[in-house]
Amino acid sequence: MEKEFTEIDEKNGWNPHYGEIKNKSPVFSNKIAKNPENKDRNRYRDVSPYDHSRVKLQNVENDYINASLVVTEEAQRSYILTQGPLPNTCCHFWLMVWQQKSKAIVMLNRIIEKDTTEEAREIFHFHYTTWPDFGVPVSPASFLKFLFKVRESGSLNLENGPAVVHCSAGIGRSGTFSLVDTCLLLMEKRKDPSSVDIKQVLLNMRNCRMGLIQTPGQLRFSYMAVIEGEKYIMQESSVQRESREGCNGNGILTEDHLKKNSYSDSFNKHQDVVDSNIESLIRKRRREDRNIITAQKVQKIKQTMNEAERKRKRWLYWKPFLIPIGLTTLILSGAYICWKIYIS
């Protein structure tokens, strides 16, 4: 794997390598996600769960949520990859966490909260705050520390329900997290760690959710994180053997030791290659967000105009009756007042 990484890096070939994975990725039906009643439950129009692997809500009229169950049998790991909750899907999100008996929520973007009532259950909430949308962390150091911390909690273990992993769309940062964790697990389980093919693992995971890993930069970072994570876990390099002295009491890598690797140093050298692609994707995402907001505003304006039109039509309908009634009432009231004055 390290040799493959170096070859791709030297050829500056991450775009074609990513393109090859994209072209080989399977496409399955996602009709349920496209149903009109589920339209407002999707954050993005181009990110939908496949019908065969979507998570279904239980005991509700509409069981749809934009979430996919990703199972890696050999690694004996399962994840629920989902989008960040929308205002109208927060209740669905927490219902899913409860029903799937998830022990952890791995959040790779912003913060959420939820109160509980009656029955209580402890759920670990892991929050990684410095990962830009469509981008990657500056180096694998902090990411690996975060991943190992999640592992330490035991919330990814088989006896618990699948961990809920989400970012914004539930495919880029979430895909990177689950891919790196799965590959490191496979390396631990196999006699020959070098037999783990990141590309094939990613293709297998894409059978469960579309578009996992959104950019060549995220793919490259996944390779970097797996290589450095393997060195630590397998204790195969002198750098990582030295790092044992720099670990804290829980056996977690310190960032200073993780930063002592050539892949972290080479990151900035290659970052400018993918920056333009990332920026274009971010612009596209922002355009979509603006279009959604604009559509909502237009719909609200239309509703206001329709309501005003209905009021106007009601007034026009009753006007021929109300005006004579009003005039008659006015005349009778005046006559009554004059009569009272006259007789007094």
Confirm whether 167 is a catalytic residue.
yes
What tokens does 107 get?
């959040």
* Helix, coil or strand: residue 163: strand
- Both tokens of residue 213? 């890993």
Q: How far apart are the first and last CA of the chain?
A: 111
- The answer to whether 170 is a known ligand-binding residue is yes
The residue whose two tokens read 């990513």 is 18
Question: Is residue 173 a known part of a binding site?
Answer: yes
Catalytic residue (one of 167, 183, 208, 338): 167
* Sheet of strand 163-166: strand arrangement: 67-72, 77-82, 163-166, 104-107, 124-127
Q: Two tokens at 226?
A: 């797996």
User: Using CA atoms, how far apart are residues 323 and 306, in angstroms rounded to an integer?
Assistant: 25
Q: What are phi and psi of 80, to 5 degrees?
A: -105, 110
168 annotated binding-site participant: yes
List the one residue out of 152, 108, 155, 153 whose CA is nearest residue 127. Answer: 108
**Local structure of 18: helix, strand or coil:** helix
State the Cα–Cα distance between residues 179 and 5, nearest whole angstrom. Answer: 16
Rg for the chain, CA atoms, rounded: 29
Dist. CA 152–CA 250, nearest whole Å: 9
Instruction: Tell me the residue type at 181.
Output: D
Q: How many Cβ atoms from other residues are within 10 Å of residue 184's Cβ?
A: 25
Written as six digits, the tokens of 219 are 């793919």
Give the tokens for residue 304: 């206001």
State the helix-helix crossing angle for 216-234 and 198-205, rounded to 10 degrees. Answer: 120
Measure CA 87 to chain center.
14
Taking the C-alpha atoms of residue 175 and residue 158, their distance in angstroms, rounded to an integer, is 20
* Residue 249 structure tokens: 């009491």
Supply the residues annotated as catalytic: 167
Binding site residue list for substrate: 133, 167-173, 214
